[in-house]
Amino acid sequence: MSRGVMQPSQQKLAEKLTILNDRGIGMLTRVYNIKKVRTHIHRRVPILARIILL
């Protein structure tokens, strides 16, 4: 088998790994953004933080 040709099972696995990697990056980005927003809210004056959370 030459190096440039992939078997169908290898192609499916490669596609699944690519999708999983993309989803993982998306999840990490969302978690980072949520964490950033939460820490930003907690740094504000407490009365403003309560108003924003309502």
Residue of 39 and 46 predicted with greater confidence: 39
For residue 31, is it within any domain?
yes
Owning domain of residue 39: 24-54
- What is the pTM for the complete model shown? 0.53
Given a contact cutoff of 8 angstroms between Cβ atoms, the answer to whether 41 and 49 are in contact is yes
Torsion angle, alpha carbons of 25, 31, 33, 39, to 10: -150
Query: So what's the pLDDT on residue 1?
Result: 47
Question: For the chain, what is the domain count?
Answer: 1
Q: What percent of the chain has pLDDT over 90?
A: 48
pLDDT at 46 over 90: no
Say how far apart CA 18 and CA 39 lie, in whole Å.
32
Give a yes or no: residue 7 inside a domain: no
In a domain, 35, yes or no: yes
